[in-house]
């Protein structure tokens, strides 16, 4: 952080990240009222990707090369086809608030992937406190899928498996984005991931037989409005606020979105969609969110000494540039204007 950010702007940015991202679960639910899940996701990310790419190019960011597209397709496929696509498919049957609780397991999967990843440095491996957080988080999810005294589970096991698979894909894409060639401009990288992920969603939508069900004339104004909200606010406004916050405030404060979003989603689903909040669901949410809090706090404590070190990437390069990161990117990438993701990219890729 190079200067004190205006307090009102910080509050507005946090409100965008907390409320907009927390509300996307309900927006997806409304979109699915008259639109099929993968087709709607394809439209969302193709539109958002095209807008973001045009914006980046107008600001002078270099276009991606042929070397970058496989990496963007890999990350975009995991995040948007596997992650968002799985979430949208499951939300046909699962209340939006409960879906958000299961998706809150993303940091748990990131922790496990980092622990098992070959070649990880000793200092990057999770400690006992982090694994305790993983246990808490998955314990909460187990409450949601367990049948009690003959009563059905809060989340059917099949749908829970799809949601956990979506969370795993998102975590794998987030970690994998650090190890594949991506454009030096974060805006171009995000746009490419959206475009590639959107194209893969089009293919998957066709394979699942959704195309005959796409009827824009028959789609409700509510569904189309929710889809527009997801494009404009969920994929563009909130992400821009998130990137700005990473440069303006301490990363541990930005990381709080990981456990605030499920709370927002639960409350919105209850207040606006009439979704029931049972004691079991609240207990499961509490355990899962507590696990995420423990993980984020433990990670912040491990990385605190390194946050004072100078950036290790070449100027302008952002290694963790996956869309809507579900684990806080290394704030060293954003500590100065030279590492500003909104600044024009370098004329050529200097990635080793």
pLDDT tens for the chain, 352 residues: list them. 445 668 899 999 999 999 999 999 999 999 999 999 999 999 999 999 999 999 999 999 999 999 999 999 999 999 999 999 999 999 999 999 999 999 999 989 988 888 888 776 666 677 888 889 999 999 999 999 887 766 788 999 999 999 999 999 999 998 888 889 999 998 999 999 999 999 999 999 999 999 999 999 999 999 999 999 999 999 999 988 887 887 788 776 887 888 899 999 999 999 999 999 889 899 999 999 999 999 888 877 776 655 444 443 333 333 333 434 333 333 333 333 333 333 444 333 333 3
- The answer as to whether 1 is a domain residue is no
pLDDT for 77 equals: 97
- The answer as to whether 210 is a domain residue is yes
**CB 130 within 8 Å of CB 286:** no
- The answer as to whether 344 is a domain residue is no
pLDDT for 266 equals: 95
**DSSP type of residue 287:** H
Report DSSP letters for 23-67, one per residue. HHHHHHHHHTTTS-HHHHHHHHHHHHHHHHHHHHHHTTPPPPPTT
- The answer as to whether 352 is a domain residue is no
**CB 128 within 8 Å of CB 301:** no
pLDDT for 124 equals: 65
The residue written with tokens 């709080």 in the block is 256
- The answer as to whether 332 is a domain residue is yes
Size of the chain in residues: 352
Provide the token pair at 178.
């650090």
- The answer as to whether 346 is a domain residue is no
Report DSSP letters for 203-257, one per residue. HHHHHTT-GGG--TTTS-HHHHHHHHHIIIIIIIIHHHHHHHHHHHS-HHHHTTH
pLDDT for 338 equals: 33
The residue written with tokens 């104004």 in the block is 221
**DSSP type of residue 19:** I
Residue 180 to residue 323: CA distance in whole angstroms:
14
Residue 149 belongs to domain spanning: 7-307+316-339
Number of domains making up the chain: 1
**CB 164 within 8 Å of CB 102:** yes
Provide the token pair at 286.
């509490």
- The answer as to whether 188 is a domain residue is yes
**CB 21 within 8 Å of CB 234:** yes
pLDDT for 138 equals: 94
- The answer as to whether 347 is a domain residue is no
């Amino acid at each position: 952080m190079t200067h004190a950010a205006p307090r009102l702007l910080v509050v507005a940015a946090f409100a965008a990240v907390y409320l907009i991202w927390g509300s996307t679960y309900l927006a997806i639910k409304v979109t699915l009222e008259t639109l099929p899940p993968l087709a709607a996701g394809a439209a969302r990310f193709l539109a958002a990707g095209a807008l973001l790419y045009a914006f980046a190019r107008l600001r002078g960011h270099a276009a991606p090369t042929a070397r970058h597209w496989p990496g963007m397709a890999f990350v975009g496929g995991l995040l948007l086809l596997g992650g968002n696509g799985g979430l949208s498919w499951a939300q046909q049957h699962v209340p939006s608030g409960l879906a958000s609780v299961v998706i809150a397991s993303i940091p748990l999967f990131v922790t496990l992937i980092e622990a098992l990843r070959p070649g990880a440095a000793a200092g990057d491996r999770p400690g006992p406190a982090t694994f305790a957080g993983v246990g808490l988080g998955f314990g909460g999810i187990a409450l949601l899928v367990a049948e009690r005294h003959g009563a059905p589970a809060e989340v059917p096991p099949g749908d829970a498996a799809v949601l956990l698979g979506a969370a795993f894909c998102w975590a794998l894409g987030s970690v994998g984005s650090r190890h594949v060639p991506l454009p030096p401009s974060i805006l171009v990288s995000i746009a490419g991931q959206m475009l590639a992920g959107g194209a893969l969603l089009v293919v998957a939508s066709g394979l699942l037989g959704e195309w005959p069900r796409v009827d824009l004339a028959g789609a409700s104004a509510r569904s189309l409005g929710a889809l527009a909200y997801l494009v404009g606010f969920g994929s563009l406004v909130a992400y821009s606020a998130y990137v700005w916050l990473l440069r303006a405030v301490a990363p541990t404060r930005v990381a709080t979105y990981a456990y605030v979003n499920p709370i927002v989603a639960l409350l919105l689903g209850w207040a606006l969609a009439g979704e029931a909040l049972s004691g079991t669901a609240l207990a499961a949410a509490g355990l899962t969110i507590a696990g995420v809090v423990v993980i984020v706090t433990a990670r912040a404590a491990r990385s605190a000494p390194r946050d004072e070190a100078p950036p290790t990437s070449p100027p302008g390069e952002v290694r963790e540039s996956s869309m809507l990161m579900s684990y806080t990117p290394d704030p060293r990438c954003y500590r100065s204007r030279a590492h500003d993701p909104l600044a024009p990219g370098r004329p050529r890729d200097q990635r080793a």
